[in-house]
Amino acid sequence: MTQAARDLYEGFPVGFFSRVDEGSDSVFFEQDRFVAHIDDRAVAAVGRLYEQLGLDGRVLDLMSSWISHFFHPPTELVVLGMNERELRANTMAAAHVVHDLNIDQELPFDDDRFDAATCCVSIDYLVRPIEVLRETARVVCPGGVVVSTFSNRCFPTKVIRGWLELDENERCALVSQYFERAGRYADVEVARCTPIEAPGDPLFAVWGTVV
């Protein structure tokens, strides 16, 4: 890690971004999982949030699979993830890219290629999330929204250890901190998108506007 990268992660405890399974993500995610990773109500909360935020036009769905949760497909959806068969099956997507963000945080897209970007129930798998959010801001036009949604379900051996130590509010604060530290976002907001008392999977979101 360069000194600049170390500075981005200053203050995080040693081992925070390590994982129980440090094996290749491409091996772990090679297995097809044509499932919803959160329940129907949480999926609907993701779609509702995308509507509220007005996500449309050219949208990049990071860490995607066979579903992207939009109520109305954006004009052009590009999906990036690890499992090619899942990505190919994403009927909303105009194009897909297999790319391991834990090996290479640089995104294979030109500057300002997209109008918005999403990352659903996946930011907890990233070992260099700040660089990924910084890169995402490069490929999204100024004024575009980048949104990360997350719940409390995960593949525990593949998420960063720090995530497993935190409660829901702390996870919101952590993701918000990722956006702040990426240094390319204004108006970073945090929301709980499912009611507190309701049963089922909770859904949280953090989003920011690219400057």
Ligand X SMILES: C[S@@+](CC[C@H](N)C(=O)[O-])C[C@H]1O[C@@H](n2cnc3c(N)ncnc32)[C@H](O)[C@@H]1O
> 3-state SS of the chain?
CCHHHHHHCCCCCCCCCCCCCCCCHHHHCCCCCCCCCCCHHHHHHHHHHHHHCCCCCEEEEECCCCCCCCCCCCCEEEEEECCHHHHHCCCCCCEEEECCCCCCCCCCCCCCCEEEEEEECCHHHCCCHHHHHHHHHHHEEEEEEEEEEECCCCCCCCCCHHHHHCCHHHHHHHHHHHHHHHCCEEEEEEEECCCCCCCCCCCEEEEEEEC
Residue 123 interacts with ligand X (CB under 6 A): yes or no: no
Residue 76 interacts with ligand X (CB under 6 A): yes or no: no
Residue 148 interacts with ligand X (CB under 6 A): yes or no: no
Residue 90 interacts with ligand X (CB under 6 A): yes or no: no
Residue 125 interacts with ligand X (CB under 6 A): yes or no: yes
Residue 151 interacts with ligand X (CB under 6 A): yes or no: no
Residue choice 58, 77, 81, 175 for contact with ligand X (CB under 6 A): 81
Residue choice 63, 116, 133, 175 for contact with ligand X (CB under 6 A): 63
Question: Cβ 67 to ligand X, closest distance in Å?
Answer: 5
Residue 41 interacts with ligand X (CB under 6 A): yes or no: no
Question: Cβ 2 to ligand X, closest distance in Å?
Answer: 20
Question: Cβ 144 to ligand X, closest distance in Å?
Answer: 19
Nearer of residues 23 and 143 to ligand X, judged by Cβ: 23
Residue 129 interacts with ligand X (CB under 6 A): yes or no: no
What's the full length of the chain, in residues? 211
Question: Cβ 142 to ligand X, closest distance in Å?
Answer: 25
Contact partners, residue 138, CB within 8 Å, separation at least 6: 107, 111, 184
Residue 67 interacts with ligand X (CB under 6 A): yes or no: yes
Contact partners, residue 84, CB within 8 Å, separation at least 6: 96, 98
Question: Cβ 131 to ligand X, closest distance in Å?
Answer: 12
Residue choice 55, 92, 101, 193 for contact with ligand X (CB under 6 A): 101
Residue 101 CA to residue 139 CA, distance in Å, equals: 15
Question: Cβ 49 to ligand X, closest distance in Å?
Answer: 13
Binding site for ligand X (CB under 6 A): 25, 29, 37, 63-65, 67, 81-83, 100-102, 120-122, 125
